[in-house]
A and B are shown apart, each in its own frame.
Chain A
Amino acid sequence: MPATEADQESVLRRYAAAAEDAHAELTALDRHSGDGDFGDNLRGGLRAAVAAFERSGGPAFGVLGTVFLDEVGGTSGPLLGLLFTEIARALESGADAAAWAEGAAAGLAAIQRVGEAKVGDRTLVDALAPAVDALRAGGDDAFAAAARAAAEGAARTAELRARMGRASYVGDRVKGRPDPGAVGVALLFWALATAADPAADVPSPVPSL
C-alpha cells in the first residue's frame, strides 16, 4: 500500500545521506555553471542540520531551515532555508501529502518573491514547481509522483539558458548539464518519497557524469 505520510526526521536523514552520495556530481555541475561550492554547501548544511537536530531534538525541518538560513553560504543556501522553514510550518498540522504540498508551495512562493525567478530560468524553481504541482494533485502516489516530477524538472534544466545568478554570465555554455540547485531540490523530493515508502520506485535525480 502506498505511503500516506512522511516523517520529517526520516526525510532529513535520507536527504543528508543523498547529499553525501551526490557531492562529487553536484560540485562538478556547479563548476560548470557557477563557483563550484554548491555540493559543499548542501552537504555541509545537511551535516550541520543533522548534528543540530540530534542536539536539540526540535522539529527536523525547523532545525534544517534555521541552519540553511543562518549558516549556509551562497545565495541558494538561504533560499533553500526559506523552503525548509515553510515546510516546517506546514508540518505542524500533519505529515500527509497535503501538508507537504502546502509547505512546499509556500516555500516556492517565498523563493520566487525573493529570488524573482520563474519556471524556465534554469534555477531550483524548475524542480520545485513541478514537485509542488504533483504533491497538490494528491492521490495514493503523490510522494513518488513529486519525486519523479522534480527529477524530470531538474533534468530539463540541461536545455535551458540561465537568466539569473552567476550562471547567467556564461550564457549558452551552461547548456547540456542540469542546474545543480535544481538537482539539489530534486534530491529532497527523492528523500521524501523514499522516506514515505522505502520500496518506492523513484529514479535518482543525480546525473552520472
Chain B
Amino acid sequence: MTSSAPFHPSDGDPVPPSLRGFARVHADLVELHENPAHLVARHRAPGRRVGLVSGGGSGHEPMHAGFLGRGMLDAVAPGKVFASPHNRQILEASRKAAGPGGVIHVVKNYTGDRINFGIAAERLRLEGIEVRRVLVDDDLATDSADTATGRRGTGATVVVEKLLGAAADDGLGIDELAELGAAFAAASRSLAVASRAQTSMHTGRPAFELAEGELEYGVGIHGERAAKSIPRPSTEDLVDRMLDEVIAGLPAGPDEVVAVVNGLGGTTLLELYGLHDLVAGGLERRGFALAGALVGTFAPALDMAGFSITLTRMRPEWRTWWAAPAVTPAFPRTAPRTTAEETV
C-alpha cells in the first residue's frame, strides 16, 4: 500500500462502519437501520404530507444522508461505493418515510439507480403507497443526443433536495411536488473539472492518470474519466469558460440563480471560497442576481481533486423555499428548532 491508501477500517466494505459513525455523531437527527441499510430522519415538519427519499452509491458524502432532517429528506438508502442501493433498502426507507400523501423518490440519473428505485416504486404501489419520481439530470458534460441514457445527476441534487424539502414542509401534495421537483431539476445545470483522479480503494493510487498540466473537463462523480482533457488554463479563465457553458445550458428564464461551488473531495475550502469569488463576480458581470449560494463539499467523488459549478435558474416563488430552515447534518444553513416540531 502507498501512503495515500484511505483510512478505512481494515475489514472489507467501508460503508457500514461509516454509516455507524455518521449515525453516532448525528444521533439527535438521524436513525440508522441495518440489513438492509437505510437511514431515517428523526424529525419532520408537522405540515409535511409527502415523504422525501433519496439514495445512491456511497463515496459522495455528505450526500445523501447529510441532508436528512427537517426541511430536507426523510429517509435515504446508501449503496456500496459508487453502486446503486438494492431495491430492498429503498423499499424500507420509503415505507418509513411515506406520509399520508405518499412518497417522492429523488433519483440521480444513472441506469442502476433508475432501475432499483423503479423496482422499489412498483413494490410500494402494490402496498398501496403512492410514489412519484423526481429525476436529477444536470450534468452538461453528458448532454448528448447520441446516448439514450441522458445527462448524469450530480451537484444539482442538493439544490433539488433543499427546494423540494421546503415545498414539502408547506404541505403540498404529491403531484404538485413531483411537478415542482421536475422544474427544479430542469432549471439546473452543472459542469465539473478535475486535476487528479480519486484514490482507488483497491490500489491506493489515482484511479486514472492525468498528464502534466492537463485537466479533466466534464468529469463525473463515479471516477469515470471525462470525455476530454484540456491544457490547464488559469483558474480565472477556467471559471469563465465553465460559467459560459453552464449558463448556455440553462433553460430560458429570469436572470436569477442559486450557485453551488462543490468540491469533489480533494479540494480545500481555501480553494472553493476563492472559486466562489470568481463565480459570484462572473455572474454579476453577466447580469445575474445571486438568489443563494453554497460553497463546500456536498457531492464529491471520494477524494478527487476538482470542483463543479451548478447553477439553478430561480423563479421568484422559489426564493422562500431556498431560504427556509433546514436542520440536517450537512446543509450549511440551519435554524434553531421550534417547539412545534414533531418527532417521528
- Chain A interfacial positions (CB closer than 8 Å to B): 69-70, 75, 78-79, 81-82, 85, 89, 110, 113-116, 163
Whether B115 and A114, one on each chain, are in contact in the complex, defined by CB atoms closer than 8 angstroms, is: yes
Stretch from B12-20, B22-30, B116-124 that touches the partner = B116-124
Tell whether B87 is near chain A: CB-to-CB under 8 Å: yes
Whether B115 and A75, one on each chain, are in contact in the complex, defined by CB atoms closer than 8 angstroms, is: yes
Whether B148 and A163, one on each chain, are in contact in the complex, defined by CB atoms closer than 8 angstroms, is: yes
A-B contact pairs, 21 of them (CB 8 A): A69-B87, A69-B88, A69-B119, A70-B88, A78-B87, A78-B115, A78-B116, A78-B119, A81-B119, A82-B119, A82-B122, A85-B123, A85-B126, A89-B126, A113-B122, A114-B114, A114-B115, A114-B119, A114-B121, A115-B118, A116-B114
The CA-CA distance from A110 to B87 in the complex, in Å, is 14
Name B36's closest neighbour in chain A (CB-CB): A70
CB distance from B318 to the nearest CB of A (A): 30
Name A79's closest neighbour in chain B (CB-CB): B119
Produce 1/0 per residue, B90-129, CB < 8 A to A: 0000000000000000000000101110110111001000
User: Which residues does chain A contribute within 8 Å of B87, judged by CB atoms?
Assistant: 69, 78
User: Which residues does chain A contribute within 8 Å of B121, judged by CB atoms?
Assistant: 114
- Chain B interfacial positions (CB closer than 8 Å to A): 87-88, 112, 114-116, 118-119, 121-123, 126, 148
CB distance from B122 to the nearest CB of A (A): 5
User: Which residues does chain A contribute within 8 Å of B148, judged by CB atoms?
Assistant: 163
Q: Given A89-B126, A110-B122, A113-B122, output 12 extra A-B contacts at Cβ < 8 Å.
A: A69-B88, A69-B119, A70-B88, A75-B112, A78-B87, A78-B116, A79-B119, A81-B119, A114-B115, A114-B118, A115-B115, A116-B114
CB distance from B207 to the nearest CB of A (A): 19
- Describe A's contact surface by its main secondary structure: helix
Assuming the contacts A75-B115, A163-B148, asked whether A114 and B88 have C-beta atoms less than 8 A apart, the reply is no
Name B125's closest neighbour in chain A (CB-CB): A110
User: Which residues does chain A contribute within 8 Å of B116, judged by CB atoms?
Assistant: 78
Closest 8 A/B residue pairs (Cβ)? A114-B118, A78-B119, A110-B122, A70-B88, A78-B87, A82-B122, A114-B119, A75-B115
CB distance from B108 to the nearest CB of A (A): 16
User: Which residues does chain B contribute within 8 Å of A69, judged by CB atoms?
Assistant: 87-88, 119, 123
Name A71's closest neighbour in chain B (CB-CB): B88
The CA-CA distance from A82 to B119 in the complex, in Å, is 7
CB distance from A63 to the nearest CB of B (A): 15
The CA-CA distance from A66 to B126 in the complex, in Å, is 12
Name B122's closest neighbour in chain A (CB-CB): A110
User: Which residues does chain B contribute within 8 Å of A115, judged by CB atoms?
Assistant: 115, 118
Name A165's closest neighbour in chain B (CB-CB): B111
CB distance from B145 to the nearest CB of A (A): 15
CB distance from B135 to the nearest CB of A (A): 12
CB distance from A34 to the nearest CB of B (A): 14
The CA-CA distance from A89 to B125 in the complex, in Å, is 13
The CA-CA distance from A85 to B91 in the complex, in Å, is 15
Contact of B118 among A81, A85, A113, A163 (CB under 8 A): A113
The CA-CA distance from A163 to B147 in the complex, in Å, is 10
Name B118's closest neighbour in chain A (CB-CB): A114
Name A81's closest neighbour in chain B (CB-CB): B119
Name B117's closest neighbour in chain A (CB-CB): A114
User: Which residues does chain B contribute within 8 Å of A79, judged by CB atoms?
Assistant: 115, 119
The CA-CA distance from A115 to B115 in the complex, in Å, is 6
Name B119's closest neighbour in chain A (CB-CB): A78
Most chain-B CB neighbours within 10 Å: which of A69, A85, A113, A115? Answer: A69
User: Which residues does chain B contribute within 8 Å of A116, judged by CB atoms?
Assistant: 114
The CA-CA distance from A78 to B123 in the complex, in Å, is 11
User: Which residues does chain B contribute within 8 Å of A78, judged by CB atoms?
Assistant: 87, 115-116, 119
User: Which residues does chain B contribute within 8 Å of A163, judged by CB atoms?
Assistant: 148
User: Which residues does chain B contribute within 8 Å of A85, judged by CB atoms?
Assistant: 123, 126
The CA-CA distance from A75 to B118 in the complex, in Å, is 11
CB distance from B39 to the nearest CB of A (A): 20
The CA-CA distance from A89 to B126 in the complex, in Å, is 9
Most chain-A CB neighbours within 10 Å: which of B112, B114, B119? Answer: B119
User: Which residues does chain B contribute within 8 Å of A70, judged by CB atoms?
Assistant: 88
CB distance from B114 to the nearest CB of A (A): 8
CB distance from A78 to the nearest CB of B (A): 5
Whether B122 and A114, one on each chain, are in contact in the complex, defined by CB atoms closer than 8 angstroms, is: yes
User: Which residues does chain A contribute within 8 Å of B123, judged by CB atoms?
Assistant: 69, 85
Name B84's closest neighbour in chain A (CB-CB): A75
Name A114's closest neighbour in chain B (CB-CB): B118
CB distance from B331 to the nearest CB of A (A): 31
User: Which residues does chain B contribute within 8 Å of A75, judged by CB atoms?
Assistant: 112, 115
CB distance from A207 to the nearest CB of B (A): 27
The CA-CA distance from A115 to B122 in the complex, in Å, is 12
The CA-CA distance from A81 to B123 in the complex, in Å, is 10
Name A85's closest neighbour in chain B (CB-CB): B126
